């Protein structure tokens, strides 16, 4: 196995971790106006992800950094061709981060409502646009002989990419609802569990359609097998939440999202960004850094990655308990 293949797999794992962890963050934010009946319940929902949301975003930073260092051609073409949607994602994430910090800075219901809207939009917009971006990566885009994107913005809003955006949004909403059912008590828990079951059925259909459609853009036996595993795991998540087994449901939904992400990368391989004209496609070979750069990165990853995983695991262990309205102090 070449180092280029190792780093393609590593980037796939980083994106998998990001979508699993940030996925329920996005879901919780999107569900604020649906599950919370007053400000206290909104505070309960926000506090379930308050200690971990910024740590979850580190996976995105690491994935983008690894992409830049290991496959600079892929990074350059992706971030120039998809400049506008990626810029909107970045702005949405910034607004979302500010909303977490600023919503309690004034004792004003109007102030908090404004920042809650920012939090909701900052959760929904990235979820949809990540699905659109990955849909286009799998489908392929117009690249010239220099591997530069020559298509227009509206070409990115094709049917397959839009199905990808909708799929990712519903997946994350369900994942977030299951997380809330696992982390809260009382009315929020009951409403989250009921919503997770209903949304989960819709998400299951969308996942099957999106991953099945993706096989026609370069699927293999491996990607087909992974897609089946993802759909089965999602079915188990829906069955578990219907049975009131929140822990098993969250585990299964995390596995389903993770395997679904790996399915998309399996469809891509050995391409990293396929072109409409296959001769212009970016592959793990022509988009990669030098062997020396990849070796240095590999040693750095071997040393630092276990430390990051241990620290983040410890964080989740510390904040493992359920919370409810009784845990929220009076005042803003």
Nearest to 45 by CA among 212, 145, 192, 148: 192
Length of the chain: 332
Give per-residue pLDDT as tens, 247-306: 999 999 999 999 999 999 999 999 999 999 999 999 999 999 999 999 999 998 888 889
The span from the CA of 4 to the CA of 290, in Å, is 9
The span from the CA of 240 to the CA of 273, in Å, is 37
* Residue keyed to tokens 């500010």: 98
CATH of 14-156+165-272, one of 1.20.1280, 1.20.1630, 1.10.3470, 2.40.70: 1.20.1630
Q: How many other β-carbons are positioned within 10 Å of the β-carbon of residue 55?
A: 15
Which helix (H) or strand (E) segment is 145 a member of? none
Largest CA distance in the chain: 63
Which is more confidently placed, 303 or 235? 235
Mean pLDDT of the chain: 93
Q: Where are the domains of the chain?
A: 14-156+165-272
Instruction: Spell out a b/e string for 217-244, using b for 16 or more CB atoms within 10 Å of the CB, else e.
Output: bbbeeebbebbebbbebbbbbbebbbee
Number of Cα atoms under 13 Å in the Cβ half of residue 137: 27
Q: What is the mean pLDDT of residues 325-329?
A: 82
The span from the CA of 310 to the CA of 287, in Å, is 32
pLDDT greater than 90 at residue 329? no
Q: What is the mean pLDDT of residues 123-135?
A: 96
Give per-residue pLDDT as tens, 36-76: 989 899 999 999 998 999 889 999 999 999 999 999 999 99
- Check the CA dihedral 37-41-43-46 and report its sign: negative
């Amino acid at each position: 196995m070449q180092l280029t293949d190792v780093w393609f797999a590593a980037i796939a794992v980083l994106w998998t971790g990001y979508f699993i962890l940030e996925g329920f963050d996005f879901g919780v934010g999107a569900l604020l106006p649906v599950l919370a009946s007053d400000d206290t319940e909104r505070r309960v929902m926000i506090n379930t992800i308050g200690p971990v949301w910024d740590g979850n975003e580190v996976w995105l930073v690491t994935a983008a950094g690894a992409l830049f260092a290991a496959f600079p051609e892929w990074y350059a073409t992706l971030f120039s061709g998809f400049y506008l949607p990626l810029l909107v994602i970045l702005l949405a994430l910034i607004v979302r981060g500010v909303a977490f910090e600023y919503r309690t800075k004034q004792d004003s219901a109007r102030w908090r409502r404004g920042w809650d809207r920012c939090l909701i939009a900052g959760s929904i917009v990235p979820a949809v646009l990540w699905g659109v971006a990955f849909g286009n990566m799998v489908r392929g885009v117009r690249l010239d002989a220099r591997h530069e994107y020559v298509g227009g913005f509206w070409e990115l809003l094709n049917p397959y990419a839009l199905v990808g955006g909708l799929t990712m949004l519903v997946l994350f909403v369900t994942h977030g609802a299951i997380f809330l059912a696992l982390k809260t008590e009382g009315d929020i828990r009951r409403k989250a569990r009921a919503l997770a079951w209903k949304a989960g059925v819709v998400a299951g259909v969308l996942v099957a359609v999106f991953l099945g459609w993706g096989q026609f853009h370069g699927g293999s036996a491996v990607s087909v097998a992974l897609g089946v595993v993802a759909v089965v795991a999602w079915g188990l998540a829906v069955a578990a939440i219907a049975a009131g087994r929140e822990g098993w449901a969250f585990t299964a939904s995390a596995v389903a999202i993770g395997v679904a992400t790996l399915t998309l990368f399996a469809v891509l391989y050995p391409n990293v960004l396929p072109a409409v004209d296959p001769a212009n496609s970016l592959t793990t070979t022509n988009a990669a850094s030098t062997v020396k750069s990849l070796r240095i990165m590999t040693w750095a990853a071997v040393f630092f990655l276990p430390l990051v995983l241990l620290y983040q695991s410890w964080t989740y262990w510390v904040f493992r308990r359920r919370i409810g309205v009784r845990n929220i102090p009076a005042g803003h």
